Amino acid sequence: MAELHSALERLAPLDFSEVPTNELTEYMRSALEAGELICNSVPPPPGGEDFQSSRPALSEPNTAASAKDIAASNARAPEPHSSHGDLQKAWGKPYKFSAKENPLDVKVYKMAAHDRHGAWFARRSVHEGISFERMKKAMQWEFLESLAIEGGPGAGAVRGIGVDSRLEQFNVGKKGQLEVWQLSAQFPGPTTPREFYTMRMTSGDALSSKSSADGKHVPRHFMSMSRPVTHPEVSERSGYILGKYESVELIREIPLHRNKRSASVTNLADHTAASGHTTGRDRGSTISYAESRGRDAKGEKVDNHQSSQQAKDNEAEELNPIEWIMVTRSDPGGGIPRFMVERGTPSSIIADVSKFFDWACSKKDIPDPENDDMGEALEIVRTQAPTDGSADRAAAPAAEKISVESGPTTEVPAQGGYLDSAKRIIGAGVDAYAPAPVAEWLKPEQAEVNNVDDDLSSDSSSYQSADDFGHAGVLSTDSLPLSDTQQSIPSSSGSAITTGISHHDRELRKLDQHKEKLDHKLAKKREAEANKLNSQQGKSEADQKKAKERHENEMKKTEEKHSKDVEKLEAKKNKEIEKARKKRQKQLDKDIVAKVTRERDDFRRRIDMIQRENQLLREQIGDVQQENTALVHKLSKLAGGDVAMQAIRDEIASAKKRPTSSIRSGSSLR
């Protein structure tokens, strides 16, 4: 396993001065070899069929319009080289999720790090419904599209992090590209935006024969490696907190169909021999012009069958399933506890897959960064980008305090495979781990509830951030007097109750809105039936009677259905009210216990302090008595000492009598 952790070190932070810009081909080759080993170390999804016996589930490529149309494939990639396959034991067993939480059957793994930093997380899945070429172009275009959109932190982000600028760009021949990006992300709630500086290496020539089925045919693939970097031309921006993320991401096709006319160079001779003919042209029926003169040119034959077959082979290749692997870990900075970051990472990187597919499938045309005019494509994005005033927010990002509520999703949720974990987990941990005054400060008000779907899907969740507790300025009750502590309890109690029943309030509003929709639907039905009945006025009496009976039956059914639906809604409403009442009572009981506990602890602390003061006074009195005894002993030995001692005793006695006499004189005056 040391080999795997050594490869993971290639994702560690570095200074850009350490990058050999004059020898980038060898530098990228070495880094991509480590990336290949890391990706092949992730265990494949259990079960499934071998790629040689699998068949595509769809008959046409790129049929998916969103993540819901993407299918989880049963096809499995060929086993990697044994030196890579043996490392799969390091990841252990995958996390368990329900089908609702994980509709695309993404397998998520966790592995402890050996460098005293956060744990590594990995995901691996196989999908159909989107072609390899489209997905590759989407991954290449993701950052560029975000770069073209102006706005505040995270503007234009697809998976949570937006691009602010590109600091470096190197084209490294066939190996791909090396770029340095300045990124940003805005978490929900009153939190400081994050910024990231990352060096990203992308390549379509990253895999070796260790990833092929027969040691010769390497499948089409695209790899992206990201590691934190410090760049000499930039410094940390005011109003941002510096975060870090490390990741390697790989997509590759599982070749159920291999184009016979695109054999690799290493196997070209074998392929030619197996086909039974050469690939050269038959010179007997050709002319010597460099270009064809058209279909009707004399002396030429047009091989329409060959071009048609080529198109069919290309389309068949685009039906191949796509395997998607990612290994990552992140640190959002700001002193957020590591356990909170790691707790939400599995669910967030699953949600990351759906987010990317929704974006990639919804785009009508994705530019090809390798061939298209990027300047024109970026200008189109700029002109189409919404002007929501986000540019104004960029001027003072630290001052932003926005309360966000997300709609119902299958996520726990997110944004951004690499960083969304921090974004969602922070909010998930506030109610569970933050004291009541902190939670009250983080949630000054609740956002408006969005429109509700007819299916009464799961309630939306409000995500807040636990960032920068040290800067919140919340005083400890230990430093307050008892009266102040007691006065602070009702406010925190009220905040906790409000937080606890906000979910029930939203549910009740949903039910009321749904009831209004049912009433509106019934009214429309009545109007439609009345119009039908009026249209029968000019007909015979028998037809009118039938129409009236049909109208009455239809209205009876509609009203019965409406009554049942209203009864169900009322039952749900009563159930939610009862839940809210029980939760409120439970919270009140907790607050009473908390109040009693605080008072008890405060009294214990005060008693302990009084006891320490008494002990200190006893010690001081003992010291004074010892000093007094020593002085009397020495004074009595001196000449005239007895007289001096007697004078001192008389003075002390007279001083004791004065308060008594003054009290008596005061009583006599009354």
Model pLDDT for residues 542-553, shown as the tens digit of each residue = 777 887 888 888
Question: Which residue did the predictor score with more confidence, 412 or 665?
Answer: 665
Rounded Cα distance, 430 and 408, in Å:
20
Query: Could you tell me the end-to-end alpha-carbon distance of the chain, in angstroms, rounded to an integer?
Result: 96
Q: Would you state the pLDDT for residue 233?
A: 84
Question: Which residue did the predictor score with more confidence, 468 or 166?
Answer: 166
Q: Would you state the pLDDT for residue 543?
A: 76
Over residues 159-168, the mean pLDDT reads 90
- Longest Cα pair distance anywhere in the chain, in angstroms? 151
Over residues 450-466, the mean pLDDT reads 38
Could you identify the residue written with the tokens 């000499």? 232
Rounded Cα distance, 162 and 152, in Å:
9
Q: Residues 184-193: pLDDT tens digits?
A: 988 776 778 9
**Is the model's pLDDT at 338 over the cut of 80?**
yes
Q: Would you state the pLDDT for residue 176?
A: 92
> Which residue in 35, 77, 33 sits closest to 213, CA to CA?
77
Q: Which band of pLDDT confidence, cut at 50, 70 and 90, is reported for residue 310?
A: low
Rounded Cα distance, 498 and 507, in Å:
14
Beta-ladder partners of 251: 222, 324
Rounded Cα distance, 624 and 641, in Å:
21
Amino acid letter, residue 367? P
Q: Which band of pLDDT confidence, cut at 50, 70 and 90, is reported for residue 93?
A: very high
Query: Which has the minimum average pLDDT: 233-247, 270-284, 564-578, 598-612?
Result: 270-284
Question: Which residue did the predictor score with more confidence, 401 or 127?
Answer: 127
Mean pLDDT of the chain: 75
Rounded Cα distance, 49 and 105, in Å:
15
Q: Would you state the pLDDT for residue 360?
A: 92
Exposed, middle or buried: residue 107 (CB in 10 Å: 0-12, 13-18, 19+)?
buried
Beta-ladder partners of 290: none
Rounded Cα distance, 37 and 33, in Å:
6
Q: Residues 596-625: pLDDT tens digits?
A: 999 999 899 999 999 999 999 999 999 999
Rounded Cα distance, 40 and 34, in Å:
10
Q: Would you state the pLDDT for residue 284?
A: 38
CA distances to 434, 469, 652 from 398, in Å: 21, 15, 69
CA distances to 11, 24, 201 from 171, in Å: 20, 9, 10
**Is the model's pLDDT at 488 over the cut of 80?**
no
Over residues 649-662, the mean pLDDT reads 74
**Is the model's pLDDT at 410 over the cut of 90?**
no
Exposed, middle or buried: residue 358 (CB in 10 Å: 0-12, 13-18, 19+)?
middle
Q: Would you state the pLDDT for residue 364?
A: 82
Q: Residues 254-298: pLDDT tens digits?
A: 988 554 444 343 343 343 333 343 334 333 333 333 333 444 444
**Is the model's pLDDT at 351 over the cut of 70?**
yes
Query: Which has the minimum average pLDDT: 121-125, 396-400, 492-496?
Result: 396-400
CA distances to 10, 21, 83, 341 from 33, in Å: 10, 18, 13, 29
Q: What percent of the chain has pLDDT over 90?
A: 32
> Which residue in 395, 455, 390, 467 sits closest to 427, CA to CA?
467
Rounded Cα distance, 385 and 377, in Å:
12
Start-end of H helices in 456-481: none
Residue 656 backbone dihedrals phi, psi, to 5 degrees: -70, -30
Q: Would you state the pLDDT for residue 573?
A: 85
Q: What percent of the chain has pLDDT over 70?
A: 68
Rounded Cα distance, 396 and 243, in Å:
19
Over residues 353-374, the mean pLDDT reads 83
Q: Would you state the pLDDT for residue 415?
A: 41
Q: Would you state the pLDDT for residue 199?
A: 96
Could you identify the residue written with the tokens 């001083």? 655
28 touches 175 (CB < 8 A): yes
Q: How far is CA 519 from the centre of its chain?
A: 39
Beta-ladder partners of 183: 163, 196
Residue 635's CB is within 10 A of a number of other CB atoms, namely: 14
Rounded Cα distance, 16 and 586, in Å:
56
- DSSP designation for 396: S
Q: Would you state the pLDDT for residue 28?
A: 95
**Is the model's pLDDT at 505 over the cut of 70?**
yes
Q: Which band of pLDDT confidence, cut at 50, 70 and 90, is reported for residue 70?
A: very high
244 touches 330 (CB < 8 A): yes
Question: Which residue did the predictor score with more confidence, 408 or 187?
Answer: 187
Sign of the Cα torsion 367, 373, 374, 377 reads negative
Q: Would you state the pLDDT for residue 307?
A: 57
For the chain, how big is the Rg over CA atoms in Å?
Answer: 38
Kindly give the pairing relationship between strand 107-111 and strand 120-128.
antiparallel
Q: Would you state the pLDDT for residue 458?
A: 38
Crossing angle of helices 541-637/641-669, nearest 10°?
140
Rounded Cα distance, 244 and 11, in Å:
11
**Is the model's pLDDT at 211 over the cut of 80?**
yes
Question: Residue length, the chain?
Answer: 670
385 touches 156 (CB < 8 A): yes
Over residues 80-108, the mean pLDDT reads 92
Residue 597's CB is within 10 A of a number of other CB atoms, namely: 10
Rounded Cα distance, 616 and 33, in Å:
71
Q: Which band of pLDDT confidence, cut at 50, 70 and 90, is reported for residue 435?
A: very low
360 touches 381 (CB < 8 A): no
Question: Which residue did the predictor score with more confidence, 166 or 213?
Answer: 166
Q: Which band of pLDDT confidence, cut at 50, 70 and 90, is reported for residue 524?
A: confident
Q: How far is CA 419 from the centre of its chain?
A: 6
Kindly give the pairing relationship between strand 49-50 and strand 75-76.
parallel
**Is the model's pLDDT at 133 over the cut of 90?**
yes
Q: Would you state the pLDDT for residue 311?
A: 60
CA dihedral 26, 27, 28, 31 (to 10 degrees): 120
Over residues 576-589, the mean pLDDT reads 88
Over residues 456-465, the mean pLDDT reads 37
Over residues 409-438, the mean pLDDT reads 44
Q: Would you state the pLDDT for residue 530?
A: 77
Tokens for 426?
A: 């922070």
